[in-house]
Amino acid sequence: MSALRAEYVATTVIEAIADVEGVAPRDLQAPLYDWVDAEALSALFDTDRPNEMRVEFRVEDHEVAVTADEVVVDGNRYDLTRSVGQ
């Protein structure tokens, strides 16, 4: 994942959770940073080398997993190469 795409990891997590909840990202009840260090999460994937890392965590009642290619929220997959709303 390039540095540019790494910047979108936290944004994609937020958009994916909002999509699963059926709300706008700004309407989420708890900020992402209450659950995970978003900058550290993005930094883990800020590399051009092949990265097979998988990070899993919970945000409220949601199970979230992040890989170099996708964000998965409660089994729903979101491609990290584009935003959820596109």
Q: Give me the number of domains the chain comprises.
A: 1
Say what the pLDDT of residue 65 is: 96
Model pTM above 0.85: no
Note down pLDDT in tens along the chain; length 86 residues: 444 455 678 889 999 999 999 999 999 988 888 999 888 888 887 766 667 889 999 999 999 999 888 999 999 999 886 644 44
The pLDDT value recorded for residue 50 is 62
Decide: 72 and 65 in contact? Cβ < 8 Å: yes
State residue 73's pLDDT score: 97
DSSP for 38-84, please give it: HHHHHHHT--SS-----EEEEETTEEEEE-SSEEEETTEEEETTS-T
Q: Is residue 49 part of a domain?
A: yes
The answer to whether residue 86 is domain-embedded is no
Question: Does some domain include residue 54?
Answer: yes
Residue 84 lies in a domain: no
Range of 58's domain?
A: 3-79
64 domain-assigned:
yes
